């Protein structure tokens, strides 16, 4: 995942999912095993993008991957500071090097986290503003978009697996009976992971709408 991805941005996730699938192309040791590897990557990606949607609760995930300039190099915030949530709606960032206070402040201000940094002597505090009902509905819509992206990615993997099974039958590697068995097995796994997407989405929607 691109660390510079900001909290409520849309549009980059199709590219990220394509990258996830490209990285998993080599998993052909055993068909079902390879397919599950790809599905797990899709689920992990979904967890990641949904975690970045701000729900009104403080979480290090909201800021830990912000890119901060550190002595000429760009580093994720979690690599240059300790991040804690002492209160339900407060994030505290404590740089290990006090010289990083200003770069961290700039990184937060230039991002879309939607929070203004409050600078103390050796730490930076972020107050999580409560979400309006309208904003909650927008976040639910975004979450559903992420879920649909995951379903599309799963469907593409399924199509590849089905084509592979067809080719095996045509090449004489498996019988027609075995072809149908493998197709049924693939569909069973696809249904399992589509259900995971639905479950993850429902949980996220509940989290967003909980005041």
Q: pLDDT of the chain along its 211 residues, tens only?
A: 333 333 333 345 554 565 555 454 433 334 567 899 999 999 999 998 888 787 777 888 888 989 999 988 999 999 999 999 998 889 999 999 989 999 999 999 988 777 889 998 899 999 888 888 888 888 899 999 999 999 999 999 999 999 999 999 999 988 999 999 999 999 999 999 999 999 999 999 988 887 6
Q: How many CB atoms lie within 10 A of CB 119?
A: 13
What's the pLDDT score for residue 147? 96
Task: Find the helix or strand (DSSP H, E) in which 91 lies.
Answer: strand 90-95
- Dist CA 211 CA 200 (whole Å): 19
Q: Which residues contact 30 (CB under 8 A, 6 or more apart)?
A: none
pTM attached to this predicted model: 0.65
Condensed to tens digits (0 to 9), the pLDDT of residues 165-190 reads 999 999 998 899 999 999 999 999 99
Query: Per-residue DSSP letters for 117-135?
Result: -EE-SS-EEEE-PPPPHHH
What's the pLDDT score for residue 25? 42
User: What is the chain's Cα-based Rg?
Assistant: 21
What's the pLDDT score for residue 53? 81
What's the pLDDT score for residue 82? 95
Condensed to tens digits (0 to 9), the pLDDT of residues 40-74 reads 999 999 998 888 787 777 888 888 989 999 988 99
Asked whether 61 and 47 are in contact (CB, 8 A), the reply is no
Give which of 126, 72, 61 is closest to 94, Cα–Cα. 126
């Amino acid at each position: 995942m691109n660390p510079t991805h900001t909290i409520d941005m849309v549009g980059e996730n199709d590219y990220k999912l394509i990258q996830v699938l490209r990285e998993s192309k080599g998993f052909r040791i055993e068909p079902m095993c390879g397919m599950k590897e790809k599905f797990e990557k899709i689920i992990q990606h979904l967890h990641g993008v949904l975690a970045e949607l701000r729900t009104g609760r403080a979480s290090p995930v909201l800021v830990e991957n912000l890119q901060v300039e550190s002595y000429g190099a760009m580093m994720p915030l979690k690599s240059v500071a300790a991040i804690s949530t002492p209160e339900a709606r407060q994030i505290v960032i404590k740089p290990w090097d006090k010289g990083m206070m200003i770069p961290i402040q700039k990184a937060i201000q230039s991002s879309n986290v939607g929070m203004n940094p409050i600078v103390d002597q050796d730490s930076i505090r972020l107050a999580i503003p409560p979400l309006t009902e309208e904003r909650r509905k927008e976040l639910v819509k975004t979450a559903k978009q992420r879920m649909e992206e995951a379903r599309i990615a799963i469907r593409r993997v399924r199509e590849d697996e089905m084509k592979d099974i067809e080719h095996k039958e045509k090449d004489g590697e498996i019988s027609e009976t075995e072809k149908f068995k493998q197709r049924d097995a693939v569909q069973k796994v696809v249904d399992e992971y589509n259900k995971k997407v639905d479950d993850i989405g429902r949980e996220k929607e509940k989290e967003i709408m909980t005041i």
